[in-house]
Structure 1
Amino acid sequence: MLDALRSEILKLSTLRSTALYAVLLLGSLFGPIVLIGLASGDSFSGEPQRWSDLYAGFFIFLAISVALCASRTTSDIKNRMTAQAFLTQEGRWQSLVAKVLVFTVFVSVCFLAGTVLIWLSVAAFGGSIDTGDVAAPILARLALVVTIAIASVGFGALVRSTITAVALPLVWLLVGEQLITMAAGKISLFRPLEDVLLSTSMQHLDQGDAVAGSIAVLVGWIAVFGVAGLASNQLRDVR
Structure 2
Amino acid sequence: MTDTIDGLLAAYDERMRGVPAELPRGVTLEQDGPVTRLTGQFRGFVSGPPDLGVDGAALDALIARQCAVFAARGEAVEWKTRGHDRPADLPERLRAAGFVPEERETVLIGRARELAGDPALPEGITLRQVTDDADMRRVAAMETAVWGDDHGWLADDLIARIAAAPDHIAVLVAEAAGEVVSAGWLVLRPGTGTAGLWGGSTLPAWRGRGLYRALVAARATLAVAHGVDLLQVDASADSAPVLRRLGLHAVTTTTPYVWTPPGG
Same fold (TM over 0.5): no
Alignment TM-score, normalising by the size of structure 2: 0.27
Compute the TM-score of the two structures, normalised by the length of structure 1.
0.29
Q: Greater helix percent: which structure? A: 1
